[in-house]
Amino acid sequence: EDQVTQSPEALRLQEGESSSLNCSYTVSGLRGLFWYRQDPGKGPEFLFTLYSAGEEKEKERLKATLTKKESFLHITAPKPEDSATYLCAVQAQMNDMRFGAGTRLTVKP
Q: Is the dihedral of CA 12, 104, 101, 22 positive or negative?
A: negative
Beta-sheet strands, E only, within the chain: 3-7, 10-14, 19-26, 32-38, 45-50, 56-59, 62-66, 70-75, 84-91, 97-99, 103-108
Shortest distance (Å) from residue 48 CB to another protein: 9
Q: What is the CA radius of gyration of the chain?
A: 13
Q: Which of residues 26-65 bind another protein (CB under 8 A)?
A: 31-32, 34, 36, 41-46, 49, 51
DSSP bridge pairs for 29: none
* Between 15 and 56, CB nearer to another protein: 56
Shortest distance (Å) from residue 93 CB to another protein: 11
- Size, binding site for another protein by CB under 8 A: 24
Q: Residue 89 interacts with another protein (CB under 8 A)?
A: yes
Residues contributing to the site for another protein (CB under 8 A): 31-32, 34, 36, 41-46, 49, 51, 87, 89, 91, 94-102
